[in-house]
Amino acid sequence: MSPDSSVNVDKIIRSLNQTGRFNIIQYLIVSLNSLAIASNVLAIVFIGIYPDYQCRPYDNSSIWPKEIENYTKYDDADRKHWIEYGECAVDVVSVENDTKSKVLSLPCTNGYIYNDSKDNSFVSEWDLVCEKSALGPFTQTMQTIGMTLGAMLVPTFADRYGRKPVIIVCQLLLGASSFGVRFSPNLQIFTGLKVFVGFFQQGIAVPSQNIAIELFSTEHRAVIAMLYGFNWVTGCMFLVLQAYLFSSYGWRATALSIACNSVVVILNILFMEESLRWLFAKGYLDKAESLIKRTAKTNNLDFDTIWNTHVAAATELIPISEKEAPPEEIALHSEAPISAIHQDHESNSFINSNTTAPEYGAEFHAERKLSVMPEDTRVWVLFTNPTLCLIMCINLYCWFMAALSYYGLYLTSGSLEGSHYLNFFINSFCEMMAMSTLWKGFEWFGRKKTLVFHFSIGSLSLIATTVLNIVLSKNSSLRVLISVATFLGMFGISGAFADLWSYLPELIPTDHRNAALGLASSAARIGSALSPFSAFLVEIIPWGPAVIFSAGCFIANLLILFLPESRGRQLPQTIADVEAWLKKDEKKKSKNAEEIKPLNKE
């Protein structure tokens, strides 16, 4: 083999038949994690339903407030008093000379009665209504805080120690926390456990997204982005099914069924493999070799051919004879770092060295590593490097706006009538339609144009929803247009979310990919935490939220133009790969600008 050759991870993946049985099984195992990811995030929609209620009436077994007795005991022919039970107050009404007036209003000292069973929701079980009504949404806010912390902290471990161990640990701890939610004796413990649920949920979501993308080569990433978006939707629809089936048994039964979704961790432990790209990026040659052997065996391919063609000649394998075996670990040395750049557009990321292949059958040390020039894997490199800083700042803003607009779509529009199970399912279906546009959108128009399209649909729908709510009366037959605008908004914003989840990993090097996704997810969590304030703003300035959301999405569209297009490019292994992209894009723009200059007139 040539003494100067390179290992291209994409070419290895292609030679292993990436659409063969091994990769399909791995993708399905990773996809099953979405059941726990989606159900734990959205569980409050079904276990925290706000029921119809009113103050519990006083009867002979109740202790009547003295204030009420002071009025009712003086009833006569000319003046009578009776009690009216509202949602949050007991009113004493006086009627004198056909004149009705409220003379006393007290809180619901005798508790509440609910239209549904008291154990149908944790809201009704713990009476989180009236003056305590903010405590129900507060539990979701605390879960969002947990998700923010998890997105910031956990993915960095996946970059350092691998995707698989982080997913397994977080799935186990998520299952334990979710199981604890079902047995929470009070609101305080319930809220604390929801923080842990959010924290560990992010520890699964971010590495799972990365390992799914890293399973396949460049030309398949668009369809994988679409399919992984379907995983989230599938998780949402499965949650609806679980909630519907267990609705008659109370919220605790639904919570227990959600906790059982983490049983997929058994498959993660037994069958899930580490990312091949991560192993090469970290220089774990022995582990990469073992993984390639298992893949080749499963797909009925010849390992020696693949290894010798794509790896052996690119690494300096040092045979160990019985006489010359050194006691210390024998490493593999390369004259060039792992980030060496090849000019071929298909070889953006690989290992480059001046080496020769070993003789067949030579013995090697059991633990071999590539001697690579290690990059700084600390999180702040994402902001100290100018190229990565530009990409991260734009993405953080886009993720923030996507989350703010997504939840703002619900908070500034009218509530949809009908079954909340059906409405949730329709919203999920609209998300599925958005995911179906990713594949061809990415393939035909590229990542940037597809993202701009989805942001634009969401922005216009937000304006339409708010305007229709202001213009149309509550009894107008045209209010169906609000539902149409709401579903279009879901289509746009959920599509933008899916675009961002797929686009950002394609822009960040392997050693920083999980950390970047974690930070971006944290920005989204901040947006979702701030979105409830739009409900207060709409009371003061009805058109305010629509202007903020639409202007924010418009600015996002402008910023996206400064990002590099990743279509047709291999996932970057190093910072140098990304910098080479931008230089190549700049040269291409300069060349195009020169070509369109008008010819000088003679």
305-312 long-range contacts (CB < 8 A, ≥24 apart) are 306/12, 306/15, 306/16, 308/1, 308/357, 309/15, 310/7, 310/8, 310/11, 310/12, 310/15, 311/7, 311/12, 311/285, 312/1, 312/357, 312/358
- As to burial, measured by CB atoms within 10 angstroms (0-12 exposed, 13-18 middle, 19+ buried), residue 323 is exposed
Question: Has residue 539 got a pLDDT over 90?
Answer: no
pLDDT in tens, 12-53: 999 999 889 999 999 999 999 999 999 998 888 889 888 888
State yes or no: pLDDT of 336 exceeds 60.
Answer: no
Residues 347-391: pLDDT tens digits? 333 334 333 444 434 444 444 555 555 566 677 788 888 889 999
* pLDDT of the residue at 331: 36
With tokens 């709409």, the residue in question is: 538
Q: Is the pLDDT of residue 346 over 70?
A: no
Write the burial class of residue 428 (CB in 10 Å: 0-12 exposed, 13-18 middle, 19+ buried): buried
Q: H helices of 43-186, where?
A: 44-47, 66-72, 122-125, 135-161, 163-182
Residue 390 has a pLDDT of 92
- Give the CA distances from residue 226 to residues 30, 183, 232, 350, 376, in Å, rounded to whole numbers and listed in that order: 15, 37, 10, 26, 32
Query: Which residues lie across from 81 on neighbouring strands?
Result: 94
pLDDT of 235 higher than 60 = yes
User: Could you give the CA distance from residue 319 to residue 321 in angstroms, rounded to a whole number?
Assistant: 6
* Structural domains of the chain, with CATH: 13-51+134-316 (1.20.1250.20), 52-58+79-115 (no CATH), 380-590 (1.20.1250.20)
Which positions ≥6 away from 89 have C-beta within 8 Å? 55, 105, 106, 107, 108
CA distance 203 to 159: 12
**Beta strand pairing call for 90-96 and 99-106:** antiparallel
Residue 330 confidence (pLDDT)? 32
C-alpha dihedral over 551, 553, 554, 557, to 10 degrees?
160
The residue length of the chain stands at 602
Residue 498: pLDDT over 70: yes
Quote the pLDDT of residue 68: 67
Instruction: Kindly indicate the confidence band of residue 343, based on its pLDDT and cuts at 50, 70 and 90.
Output: very low
Q: What is the pLDDT of residue 474?
A: 65
Q: What is the pLDDT of residues 181-222, one digit of tens each?
A: 999 999 999 999 999 999 999 899 888 988 998 899 878 877
Q: What average pLDDT does range 45-71 have in this prediction?
A: 76
Higher-pLDDT residue of 432 and 323 is 432
The model's pLDDT over 84-141, given as tens digits with 9 standing for 90+, comes to 888 888 887 777 766 777 777 888 888 889 988 888 999 999 999 888 888 888 888 8
Q: What is the pLDDT of residue 238?
A: 94
- Per-residue pLDDT of 551-602, as tens digits, reads 888 899 899 988 888 887 877 878 888 888 878 777 776 666 566 555 444 4
Three-state SS for 99? Answer: strand
pLDDT at 342: 36
- Would you say 122 and 251 are in contact if contact means Cβ atoms under 8 Å apart? yes
Distance between CA atoms of 483 and 550, rounded to whole angstroms?
19
Q: What is the pLDDT of residue 597?
A: 58
Predicted confidence (pLDDT) per residue in 7-17, tens digit = 788 889 999 99
Give the span between the Cα atoms of 366 and 382, in whole angstroms. Answer: 35
pLDDT score of 242: 94
Per-residue pLDDT at 3: 34
pTM of the model: 0.73
Residue 341: helix, strand or coil by DSSP?
A: coil
